[in-house]
Amino acid sequence: MRIGMLTSGGDCQSLNATMRGVAKALYNNLKDVEIIGFIEGYKGLMYEDYRVMTPNDFSGILTQGGTIIGTSRQPFKLMRTPDAKGNDKVELMKKTYKKLKLECLVVLGGNGSQKTANLLREEGLNIVSLPKTIDNDLWGTDMTFGFQSAVNIASDAIDCIHTTAASHGRVFIVEVMGHKVGWLTLHAGIASGADIILIPEIPYDIDKVVSAINKRTKAGKRFSILAVAEGAISKEDAKLSKKEYKAKLAESPYPSVSYEIGKRIEEKTGQEIRVTIPGHTQRGGSPCPYDRVLSSRFGAAAAQMILDKDYGNMVGMKNGEVVRIPLADVAGKLKMVDPKCSIIKEAKALGISFGD
């Protein structure tokens, strides 16, 4: 049996651990299996850039971050746009799949990657996918691999800010990854005792943010810490159309939303503001133990799907159990933070402000 495998989109800490899980389970259950690793994701599948993997390739990578076969971003919205030579990208991928006589293609990726995986499924290819994203925003699964490792790193960054913020009596803004959803900022903010958490799903009122800071100041607190998702948006901007908001961002003098928020807080309070952006450190380093276990379970479950020839599904987690979710149900759907969900209510009960 010949199996194709690729990692697509942004990297994260548990890609190698997940590929290892798939490979070990296949090697342990099949006498004759060959794994083809496509280099740099769908790009490798398009242009026949691959290598034949061996069991040794999957040895010692459980704790290794990144991906040993590389990754790249291939936007789903451009998948039907011809490449530089005028070739149909989807047809190129199908051609490679058939030329190599693959039994199935294993895809490790986030939202856009899952949409492309579903497109290939619709084109008749056997697909098994796994949910990779530090954003934990894939519909149908309670957890994605990479998320908890990123939470750990973002939390460490905010933890480190506490001592300097307390020492200088400043307002610190820590900008956490997450353009469209706020799971990472929400969990890291709660874990690190942030005073204010701003996420895309809950448009903020800057006066409410300032009020929360002033309340702390009056209570004798010398500093405040804000965990801000990079996609946080004000109530005013939330009323704009997508096109209008993009135009506003393009003309903004601020490098990111956190700097704009910081400037407005400074103008309204007179307090000294500092912005810290952990950036891509949130994707880097070794996977945490939680993700190593999750990735190993997901990998073994994906291998079982291949053994069962049950294709067209994504591996997911529901209530602590690994499940199979139809790709058709996953593709194109984001798992947003519900502003009325229990974790938000509990965070507010702790005194955390969301600026609403």
Which residues form the catalytic set? 135
Closest CA to 193 of 142, 157, 247, 229: 157
CA distance 356 to 344: 12
CA distance 258 to 198: 10
CA distance 305 to 284: 29
CA distance 131 to 143: 8
- Chain centroid offset of residue 88 CA: 28
CA angle (327 as vertex; 312, 9 as ends), nearest 5: 105
Alpha helix ranges (H) inside the chain: 15-29, 42-46, 89-99, 111-122, 147-168, 183-191, 206-218, 235-238, 242-251, 257-269, 289-308, 327-330, 342-349
